[in-house]
Structure 1
Amino acid sequence: MSRRRITQETFDDVVKENVEEFDMDPDEALREAVEQFESQGVDLSFIVKAVPTSSHDDTQEGQTHEVLQALESLRLGQDNPNMTADLKRFTEQCSVGFAQRYLAGQKGAFAIVLSCCRKSLEEQGDLLVALAALAMLTDGQPDLLNTEGVGLLFSILYNYREDPAVTRVGFRTVRHCCLKHEQNRQDFVKAGVLALMTRAITKHIACAEVVKEASAALRVMTFDDDIRVPFGHAHDHAKLIVMENNGLKVIIEAAKSHPDKVPVLSDLCATLSHLAVRNEFCQDICDLGGLKFMMTLLAESFESKDIVRQVLSAIGAIAGNDDVKDAVVNAGGVPLIVVAMNTHMGNSNVCEQGCACLAVLCLRKLNNCQVIMDNGGPLAAIQAMKSHRGQVNVQKQACMLLRNLVGRTDAFSQSILEMGAEALILEALRSYNEDCGDVCRAALRDLGCKVELRELWTGKKGNIVQHSDSD
């Protein structure tokens, strides 16, 4: 159930009342207001929790929040030489937190900043400052974007496609506008932004910042994260990136150009995992050298749990192809995955992705099951279940791995049971029956354990009432 929300004005009025009526100092008045609303179950994530300050005068009427003061200065000075200074001040205030950005957005900031972008089109330096303000304002607020904004952003990206600095900030803005907003994604794709993104990676392949930003923007175009729409075009967008814009080759070539830039490689790896939506795409990634750079990245970046998680996710995605499963195992992927899990056993995300990756590798592949057994895969999964009893996804993926290991043979069942698997699976079944009960029961069944399977349908007929045509 959603929490109650209030306006910024309501919150500020309570702070003001605490000062005037109850003789509190400003800091005490602020703390009291926060505690009062939180005790009532009010969501304050959209509220600037600060005492308004004076702007042009010292009267109470002249007091407002600093982000609004910066916005007003920007509104009044759009045609002045100081516009860039006002933009920088506004960007700085928006960077304080989401509440500041939300308040500015509610007061018409998008139209003002977009106007500044339009007025700066002829001057690269000013345009960079204006775009940076737009990128910051739209972070977490994709609904601010309108048709005019889509057109202007695309025009800027096209006209400045030779400029790496403008390209980088422009793609960051597009990414913010498309995250959790399906319609914005579709509008940009229709405008032709996918071609601009892939070409930018090739054009500016030596610039790690552009490659990283363009890759991240491409990835967002394949998301299906807008809960307001019944279904999105994530799969279609991924196909467009691969089939019409040569996206797989572009990304893998970029990875080869930055062998020592681990953050860039991690980002490219994450994007590849979102493009592996078809069997042939998975094979193409492998054939183009994508698997090789993933293996290298995993082997050389064990200390970074974030990179390990991204690589494991990508390997799991491309291993949906049966031939790629064998390629991963033949390349020594299994011991790398197990070592990564053991290295970051305290991190639930790594454990979840590690179990999921191994579960995919052994699906329908008896030889791969043997390799996973020989390299301690089930023991790592069982340890992950012990370490993360409160994480349903870890429990689910670990049970999936154990089930897949014995799904086609009972040769490994006794060894896995001796590791203590049955008790842990039963515990997961009791704790998360609704979320992963079926997987737990399947694991117990295939391990040869006693399990009460749910009877979804008895096969008995019910009463059938026939109606005549006249009915």
Structure 2
Amino acid sequence: MANMEKRRITQETFDAAVKENMEEFEMDPVEALREAVEQFNSQGVNLKCIVKAVPAVSSDDNQEEPTHEVLQVLNFLRTGKDSAIKRFTELCSLGFAQRYLAAQKDAYPVILSHCKKSVEEQEALLTALFALAALTDGQPDLLDAEGQQFLLNVLKEHKADTSVMRAAICTVRHCCLKHEQNRQDLVKGGVLPLLTGAITQHVACAELVKEAAAALRFMTFDDDVRVTFGNAHEHAKIIVLEHNGLKILVDAAKAHFENTSVLSELCATLSRLAVRNEFCQDICDLGGLKLIMTLLADSYEKPELVRQVLSAIRAVAGNDDVKDAVVESGGVELIVIAMNKHMNNSAVCEHGCACLSVLALRKPNNCKVIMEHGGVLAAVQAMKTHKDVVNVQKQACMVMRNLVGRMSELSKPILEMGVEDLIIQALKTHKECGDVGKAALRDLGCEVELRELWTGKHGSLTN
């Protein structure tokens, strides 16, 4: 079945099946389409890249064969009808299948040439960039050296225009997701100071700050399965050490303290930059930690923001001094309040447990604070509420293990909350919990069954 699910067909094969349903079986277009979709789905064909629509005859008299609208519009653009570009963007924005079909029919060079010939005219450039951003969404492989240079030039030459900058940065972001080579090429081409500079220059423009912060974050991803070792860590270091990234992001957060979506983006990016002990300390010294804690206190109603804030706390608390600063500023209480408020949200529970686990590590005093303020109860409740979510179970096991690692006297009160049964349940349900679950049971002083993995199939010890 696994192989069947990976089967692909071409758009032409799908369209032919729809056409056959209409002509041979006299179905109406809607029925013919539905029948074709069901037929291919039942055969285990992946239709992600297929436009599920009936090809239409163009209003252009020269065209005889029906084709999909996105290809009709692409042909208009090829023949110099520039006004069609907005419609092309709309169609690409409908879904991946439209973008994929357009790319298969060589849309990228057409759109890039439109971008290049529009550079002198703001409105035309903006429209062309929107088309490029839409086309490259989910298709970073399309970007070539010419496209990279074009985007870098736009970012250098249109610094004053926030709309153009946003569209260009959005395209950069699309081309850097799951594409290590594009990231490395753009970084070599000087994209990082252009992104940090855009935030500094237009710090008051919320949407641009969000877009640029997200693009910086994407530069620190390690998500391209084709590459064994990426430059994620290196890019994070360059952003911080060479381009003053931490200060720029913290200052931007201070400038948008009322705007949750901007703050959420900035928190997420700061988390990705906290890759060294001293960077965590720098975020704290710049007022970033105070900002994050205030944010958690003021916005604990909003689960998405809470998740990002908890993720940021987890990242910066990798530094032992920052751990203490978090706890001293009432961080444990705020984390527990946030977890209890959003107990049904598995992501909040996962990040909340991860924060408590990091704060407890090697810090007996912090362990006492976590016990006193209901941290264990919150983790226990998270385990009960999200039995099927492996990451919640793993992080909650880590909390228990780190709490008793240097404070064995906490084992008894923790076990009285029914933790042993919950960990055993997690071990049975999720094999990924094996190591951390068994370590937690062992450190809590429970009996641990260490299953023998080697069965001696290749000969006996008694020979």
TMscore range, shorter length: over 0.9
Pairwise CA distance, 1:348: 0.9
2:366 corresponds to which residue?
368
Distance 1:6 1:59 in 2: 29
Distance 1:444 1:98 in 2: 47
Which of 11, 20, 25 is the aligned partner of 2:23? 20
Q: Say if 1:120 and 1:127, in contact at 8 Å, map to a contact too.
A: yes
Gaps of 5+ in 1: 463-471
2:219 corresponds to which residue?
221
Distance 1:165 1:426 in 2: 55
Tell me the SS of whatever aligns to 2:408.
Answer: coil
Which of 37, 48, 69 is the aligned partner of 1:45? 48
Which of 447, 452, 467 is the aligned partner of 2:449? 452
Pairwise CA distance, 1:404: 0.6
For 1:273, give the aligned amino acid: S
In the superposition, relative to structure 1, how do residues 37 and 59 fare at CA in structure 2: closer, same or farther (>3 Å)?
farther
Pairwise CA distance, 1:56: 3.0
Tell me the SS of whatever aligns to 2:251.
Answer: helix
Pairwise CA distance, 1:178: 0.3
1:70 aligns to 2:64 (yes or no): no
2:330 corresponds to which residue?
332
Q: Residues 164-313 of structure 1: matches in 2 within 5 Å?
A: 164-313=162-311
2:7 corresponds to which residue?
4
Q: Residues 415-434 of structure 1: matches in 2 within 5 Å?
A: 415-433=413-431
Q: Residues 395-434 of structure 1: matches in 2 within 5 Å?
A: 395-433=393-431
1:466 corresponds to which residue?
none
Pairwise CA distance, 1:389: 1.0
Tell me the SS of whatever aligns to 2:253.
Answer: helix
1:151 corresponds to which residue?
149
Q: Residues 55-94 of structure 1: matches in 2 within 5 Å?
A: 55-56=58-59, 61-77=64-80, 83=82, 85-94=83-92
Question: 1:351-403: CA deviations, max 9, x gaps?
Answer: 11110111000000001001111111111111111111111111100000111
For 2:378, give the aligned amino acid: A
Gaps of 5+ in 2: none
Distance 2:244 2:379 in 1: 37
In the superposition, relative to structure 1, how do residues 162 and 59 fare at CA in structure 2: closer, same or farther (>3 Å)?
closer
Tell me the SS of whatever aligns to 1:99.
Answer: helix
Pairwise CA distance, 1:345: 0.9
Distance 2:226 2:401 in 1: 36
1:442 corresponds to which residue?
439
Question: 1:193-249: CA deviations, max 9, x gaps?
Answer: 001011111011111111111100000000000011111000000000000001001
TM-score, with length taken from structure 1:
0.94
Distance 1:50 1:98 in 2: 13
Question: 1:2-40: CA deviations, max 9, x gaps?
Answer: 611111111110000111111111111111110111111
Distance 1:197 1:454 in 2: 52
2:158 corresponds to which residue?
160
TM-score, with length taken from structure 2:
0.95
Moved more, 411-420 or 217-226: 411-420
For 1:112, give the aligned amino acid: V
Question: 1:86-119: CA deviations, max 9, x gaps?
Answer: 1111001111111111111111111111000000
Tell me the SS of whatever aligns to 2:349.
Answer: helix
1:111 corresponds to which residue?
109
For 1:53, give the aligned amino acid: A
Tell me the SS of whatever aligns to 1:63.
Answer: coil
Distance 2:127 2:301 in 1: 36
Question: 1:159-188: CA deviations, max 9, x gaps?
Answer: 111221111111111000000100000000
Q: Say if 1:131 and 1:170, in contact at 8 Å, map to a contact too.
A: yes
Distance 2:426 2:12 in 1: 47
Distance 1:242 1:180 in 2: 22
Pairwise CA distance, 1:454: 5.3
Moved more, 233-242 or 206-215: 206-215
For 1:14, give the aligned amino acid: A
Moved more, 158-167 or 240-249: 158-167
Distance 2:317 2:439 in 1: 22
Distance 2:88 2:115 in 1: 14
For 2:439, give the aligned amino acid: A
1:386 aligns to 2:384 (yes or no): yes
Tell me the SS of whatever aligns to 1:64.
Answer: coil
Tell me the SS of whatever aligns to 2:24.
Answer: helix
Tell me the SS of whatever aligns to 2:304.
Answer: helix
For 2:53, give the aligned amino acid: A
Q: Say if 1:70 and 1:93, in contact at 8 Å, map to a contact too.
A: no
Pairwise CA distance, 1:446: 1.0
Distance 2:222 2:384 in 1: 32
Distance 1:408 1:58 in 2: 81
Moved more, 163-172 or 313-322: 163-172
For 1:188, give the aligned amino acid: L
In the superposition, relative to structure 1, how do residues 417 and 58 fare at CA in structure 2: closer, same or farther (>3 Å)?
farther
Moved more, 299-308 or 316-325: 299-308
1:467 corresponds to which residue?
none
Pairwise CA distance, 1:58: 8.1
In the superposition, relative to structure 1, how do residues 150 and 57 fare at CA in structure 2: closer, same or farther (>3 Å)?
closer
Pairwise CA distance, 1:62: 3.1
Distance 2:356 2:453 in 1: 30
Question: 1:407-456: CA deviations, max 9, x gaps?
Answer: 111221121111111111001111112x1201000111111111123578
Distance 1:97 1:263 in 2: 24
Indicate the RMSD between aligned Cα atoms, in angstroms.
1.6
Pairwise CA distance, 1:57: 5.5
For 1:54, give the aligned amino acid: V
For 1:240, give the aligned amino acid: I
Work out the number of aligned pairs and report it: 453
Distance 2:175 2:422 in 1: 43
1:469 corresponds to which residue?
none
